[in-house]
């Protein structure tokens, strides 16, 4: 009996031709989504939590956090965990309980937990890569087998335990989470700190569970939902890649936070340079491009408003600046050394500006 000939399209190892029209359409959709989120400032939205915030507001802030590129860090982890619903339920139980326990610790010590800019940048880039890969997978742009790999045993053991994975999201460099951590610390009460962080985690749970269920449904999931989710996840992955690069001191393609950057040069005052900047409540610096000369001390006056959100922390790696800003005037000092263009950012890289260091004479 002769061997039946299979058409090329059906052969097990037949190479697939790339549908460039489809790739182009998705690229335009991702670009359009990126521009909308960038121009409206939604990708940089991060509220400042005042001492008078109500516990009901904490729930709402937790819900809102899932709609930003900040919350997309957790969304990317959840979407990539295409596991049964029981996995996601245990993930959120671990998240709520861990947030409560660490919130109590913050309320007791009156401090906050944070990573260095280098560690934060590497972590954000890793999550960005995961989101871009999973977005491409949801859009059908790469074969699923290319995204299949066997992690080291200790990583597999950790990520396979949803309780631990959910609790570990407390340490992600998210502006929303950090605002809640600061608020929990400001209460000065372990009970209040635990309640604040638990409610924040609880508020973010419903949309994250919905994403997890959709990811776990596999082929049963709506094609349109899969396409829309893939475009959104890939777009937010691009934002997070830019944020991670900025935290590492590498200027992204668009290092400033607005499409029409405002510039400011530094006058000489008492033998030093003076630059002034405002942190706006819209997720921007004004001006967001500052110019200084190398080798001359700089006095950097930063005015912070009441609603700075993620912008309440300022990181300028090249100048050795990493500080928590307070409302009103803040005075920072550094001496620029190497000529070049360097980014300065908030603690998560969402607010971005550029420091241009020119050669001195």
Reported as a pLDDT band with limits 50, 70 and 90, residue 294 is very high
What is 263-358's CATH number, 3.50.30.40, 1.20.1180.10, 2.60.40.10, 2.60.40.420? 2.60.40.420
Q: What is the pLDDT of residue 16?
A: 54
Distance (Å, rounded) from C-alpha 280 to C-alpha 188?
A: 28
């570990």: which residue's tokens?
Answer: 168
The model's pLDDT over 24-68, given as tens digits with 9 standing for 90+, comes to 888 898 888 888 877 776 666 555 554 444 566 677 777 767 765
């990520």: which residue's tokens?
Answer: 159
Q: What is the pLDDT of residue 336?
A: 92
Flag whether pLDDT at 323 surpasses 90.
no
Flag whether pLDDT at 361 surpasses 60.
yes
Q: Exposure string (b/e) for 54-88, b if CB count within 10 Å is 16 or more?
A: eeebbeebbbbbbebbbbbbbbbbbbbbbbeeebb
CB 279 within 8 A of CB 257: no
The domain limits of the chain are 19-247, 263-358
Distance (Å, rounded) from C-alpha 206 to C-alpha 204?
A: 6
Quick one: 192 exposed, middle or buried, by C-beta within 10 A (0-12, 13-18, 19+)? middle
CB 16 within 8 A of CB 214: no
Distance (Å, rounded) from C-alpha 28 to C-alpha 22?
A: 10
């819209």: which residue's tokens?
Answer: 282
Flag whether pLDDT at 83 surpasses 70.
no
Percentage, residues of the chain above pLDDT 90:
14
Considering 1-5, 17-21, 120-124, 238-242, the range whose residues carry the highest mean pLDDT is: 238-242
User: CA dihedral defined by 321, 323, 327, 329, rounded to 10 degrees?
Assistant: -40
Q: What is the pLDDT of residue 145?
A: 62
pTM of the model: 0.59
Range in 140-144, 155-159, 177-181, 225-229 with the lowest mean pLDDT:
155-159
Task: Copy the structure tokens of residue 120.
Answer: 């934060």
């Amino acid at each position: 009996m002769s061997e039946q000939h299979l058409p090329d399209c059906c052969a097990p190892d037949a190479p697939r031709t790339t549908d460039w029209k489809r790739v182009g359409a998705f690229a335009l959709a991702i670009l359009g989504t990126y521009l909308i989120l960038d121009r409206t400032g939604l990708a940089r939205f991060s509220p400042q939590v005042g001492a008078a915030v109500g516990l009901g507001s904490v729930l709402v802030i937790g819900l809102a956090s899932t709609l930003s590129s900040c919350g997309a860090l957790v969304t990317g982890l959840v979407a990539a965990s295409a596991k049964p619903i029981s996995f996601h339920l245990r993930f959120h139980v671990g998240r709520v309980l861990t947030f409560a326990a660490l919130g109590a610790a913050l309320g007791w010590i009156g401090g906050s937990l944070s990573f260095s800019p280098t560690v934060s940048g590497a972590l954000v880039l890793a999550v960005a890569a995961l989101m871009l890969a999973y977005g491409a997978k949801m859009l059908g742009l790469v074969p699923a087998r290319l995204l299949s790999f066997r992690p080291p045993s200790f990583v597999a053991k950790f990520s396979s335990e949803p309780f631990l994975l959910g609790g570990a999201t407390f340490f992600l460099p998210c502006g929303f989470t950090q605002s809640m951590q600061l608020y929990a610390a400001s209460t000065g009460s372990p009970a209040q700190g635990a309640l604040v962080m638990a409610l924040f985690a609880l508020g973010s749970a419903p949309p994250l569970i919905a994403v997890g269920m959709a990811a776990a449904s596999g082929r049963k999931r709506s094609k349109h939902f899969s396409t829309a989710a893939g475009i959104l996840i890939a777009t937010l992955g691009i934002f997070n890649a830019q944020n991670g690069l900025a935290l590492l001191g590498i200027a992204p393609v668009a290092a400033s936070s607005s499409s029409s950057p405002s510039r400011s040069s530094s006058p000489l005052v008492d033998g030093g340079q003076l630059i002034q900047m405002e942190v706006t409540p819209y997720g921007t610096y004004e001006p967001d491009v500052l110019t200084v000369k190398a080798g001359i001390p700089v006095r950097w006056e930063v005015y912070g408003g009441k609603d700075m959100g993620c912008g309440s922390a300022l990181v300028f790696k090249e100048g050795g600046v990493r500080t928590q800003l307070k409302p009103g005037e803040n005075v920072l000092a550094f001496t620029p050394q190497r000529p070049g263009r360097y980014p300065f950012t908030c603690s998560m890289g969402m607010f971005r500006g550029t420091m241009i260091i020119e050669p001195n004479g």
